[in-house]
Structure 1
């Protein structure tokens, strides 16, 4: 059975071999660059929030980058589709909102492994995926929006705390949001690098060269109720609802049918492999998928799979630079990196808010879910994300009782 979608069978005019390869290769490189530089700061922020040391956070960034790169190569090569794998940005935003849990970093790693097992079970037992699909999108997106809110307000808090450092980052982001929207966040990160360089030149602070070498730091997981329910379960839900399901929809819009079970197996195994090195979760690409799978990658859909392989190779190269990026974050002046992270999440926050309140009949449960998630409350050591999901579902059930 051919893995090429029916729409890919349409005839296209032949292109020179060099052009046939260069376009999807470049598209894959752009996919990885935009994906990595836009949100790596969010990854480091989330991992540090749940107890990782700087070295463990750098290890986690390296682990999920390698898992995403290898996943891209395996899926694109095997199925001849421009399938991209990425780390779970909403998932790591969830970690940033959750904060430290009972048991510390090792318990957080245990939560990552629980999420990995649930993803694998989704591949092996389709009813689990169907159960996730039954969570109303308004509730799932409201939970995500509440989780993202504290990160999204960081640029404005940073602007007050450090105007000379944060203002250039925001200005660059705003200008290029108008001129080159896809590159607005990466270029804001470039502005942050310039700010850091100026600060280092002024203060003379440096870093040990050994800290720039990528390395994995493994942690033995422990399992606590707070981490399993407060990290593992919400991480699984938000990764499925905000990444995997939209990722399938994006690929379908370009005429590709994602092989669901293999995709969940690859992302589940990738998450499990990365977990003990500090990686939180990998999943199907959603926003980044459009770069590799769209017509700009190649006019012929049958040749766009090269972009998936190229994206995977680019992620592996970026993984080698992950320690240097992590060191840059540590050297940055106050507010600068949180500003970049917050700007990177504006689009996801806006989309989540829109989907949460789009249906007037679901608005009250969605608002309750959003507010509980944004409150940051933790009860019995379980994070706000879980209680937000529970509160939203309970309110929805009460309001909808007796209705058809």
Structure 2
């Protein structure tokens, strides 16, 4: 009996990649589970064949409603992966992480499934796909910051000085900049997956490093997790579903990434952070993966960043703080009342402009203009 599989999620095939479009709840026939890279070759009820992401299927001989996950099979190359990695090669340059992206990483969201020691799923039988790769909520809470001890490593401290407008970051003596150029189309999985790789040359080393959009996305998530509580981190250019390999789109994206990197290089804190320096100056794949895991284990993220600022702010006067809080409460209440009044006025004008009186005025206006036209 042929091995059957139930489709857990909708998947749309990309033209030219030998993929098969499937819909949630559909039953397909498994042709080959040894393709590797998180893919399974399957055939739908219409006889069409192609590759389907392994994490999108529950494979097994259907016995009532009993299905087994392909990730629990010891012969499968991806046995023991977490749910984020099982989704790995579903999409290319604008999607989730792929199979060659250091799946030993301990950071990020690992789905709702917990894997047992044999690599099988314990608890829930289905794969949960994360909609947010690195949720900001998993970082320390403000309570953790208030109760935590100061960091022992003084190398990570962020010095500030009192300027004319208040506390100001210390800027490095040598400004940092980088140039993004020479985009090239690369591929993996024997040409099944393609992506664009950019060459980044920092002014500090003048040695180019290669990164794809996913790497920029990873850097953005790391910067948001570490500095998002205190620093404004601009968003990356939007992801693209179609036309990712068109010349005009590649040029536009390269310009947008260049503008984003320029802003990051000019910030005195972000540009000197370990994760940003790793992104620009790593020497080989081993150093990159090691630095990536270290960055994802960083504990001084979120509100904990404030424990690195030196010197600490002076003790605030309790009476002054209470007075400012009272003024803020009064302002918010008056603003709320003003917005409500504005909405009421707008609603009353809307009723006047859509009622019978408005229609009568409109008809009278039209009749007057017609009369003037006929008698002149």
**TM-score, normalised relative to structure 1:** 0.20
Which structure would you say has the larger Rg? 2
Structure with larger RCO (C-alpha < 8 A, sep 6+): 1
Which structure shows the higher helix fraction? 1
Higher strand share: 2
Q: TM-score, normalised by structure 2?
A: 0.21
